[in-house]
Amino acid sequence: MINSTQVSYFILSAYFDTGLFKYLFFITVMSLYILIICANILMIVIICMNRSLHEPMYLFLCNMFVNEVLGSTAVFPFLLVQILSDMHTVSTSFCFLQIFCGYTYANIQFWNLAIMSYDRYLAICYPLQYNTQMTSKKVAMLIALIWLFPCIHVAVMISLTASLQLCRNIINKVLCDNYSIAKLGCSDTTVNNIYGLIYTFIIVVGLVTLIFYSYIRILKICFSGSKQTRQKAFSTCTRHLASLINFSFGCFFEVLQSRFNMSSVPNMLRILLSIYFLTCQPLFNPVLYGLNMSKIRIICRSLVCGQF
């Protein structure tokens, strides 16, 4: 038996020898990463540099784009190095750092989507009180909470996992994963499981309830309001729902890989599923919001024409 203090590195066993195809795979992943960074930074610059976009909805979008840049940067360079490497190992400290960045990114994304649904609920159901309800101070406080709670949760989760005694150091994935490391433990994981269940309960009862409540109220407005109100609600909420569903699929694929035995699944498919989780939001959201929101679209057109 070896404990966590004696494990100096982990082996990522989901990689396999692709021969010369690894260079094609490397170029593809690098192109996706560059596209993600450029698209999200463009959205951040557009929102920050235009005072007309300094509204709660756009500030929450900007917060989401910042999170996507940080989350992608924390994972993609490591993935690119591993694709070209012959030894797929990672140090214990870097593995936990990767877990912190990846899990924080996913949690912040979910919290941000929940707050955005609340923002749309106020804007559509209480348009006259919206400016007094969603003040600059309240927006700043919500953005701070979006980052604070996930960081605290992931830090506690990692500290519990790092204290486990480990019997093995082989992770059957292409990236470090908290649940995969916990499965390597020889010691009792009851505390880890209880903490995970409590946080999951908070997420389900809190954020999921907030999202469902917001959209139930919005749907009532859609059916009972004027044609203009229905069009506004539909155009606004379709984007948010598409982003939420896309993110949920990415999380589902990631949980599927972590919780179930995927040894029978081809390695290439497992790598593609991992890449989908990393790219589903950062690549989808700038296109979704940039092309479908008139204010951002007009500014993008001005940038292309050199009139910014």
Report the 10 Å Cβ neighbour count for 289.
Answer: 22
pLDDT, residue 265, reads 66
| DSSP 8-state symbol, 166 | B
d(CA 69, CA 67): 5
pTM for the whole structure: 0.87
Please tell me the CATH code under which domain 9-305 is placed.
1.20.1070.10
Angle at 180 between CA 250 and CA 31, to 5 degrees: 45
Q: Which helix (H) or strand (E) holds 9?
A: strand 9-12
pLDDT, residue 303, reads 66
Beta carbons within 8 Å of 16's beta carbon, 6+ residues apart: 267, 268
pLDDT tens, N- to C-terminus, the chain (308 residues):
344 446 778 888 777 766 677 888 889 889 999 999 998 998 898 888 888 888 898 899 999 999 999 999 988 998 888 888 878 888 888 999 999 998 999 899 999 999 998 998 888 888 888 888 899 999 999 999 999 999 999 999 999 988 888 888 888 788 888 888 888 888 778 888 888 888 888 887 788 888 888 888 887 877 776 677 677 667 767 777 888 888 888 777 777 776 666 666 666 677 777 777 778 888 888 888 877 677 777 777 776 665 54
C-alpha pair distances (Å), 177 with each of 18, 174, 214, 274, 275: 23, 9, 32, 11, 14
Q: What is the dihedral of CA 200, 205, 206, 210, to 10 degrees?
A: 130
pLDDT, residue 308, reads 46
For 165, the token pair is 């005694």
What number of CA atoms fall less than 13 Å from residue 66's CA on the CB side? 16
User: Dihedrals φ, ψ of 258, to 5°?
Assistant: -80, -40
pLDDT, residue 196, reads 82
pLDDT, residue 60, reads 93
Beta carbons within 8 Å of 157's beta carbon, 6+ residues apart: 103, 178, 192, 195, 196, 199
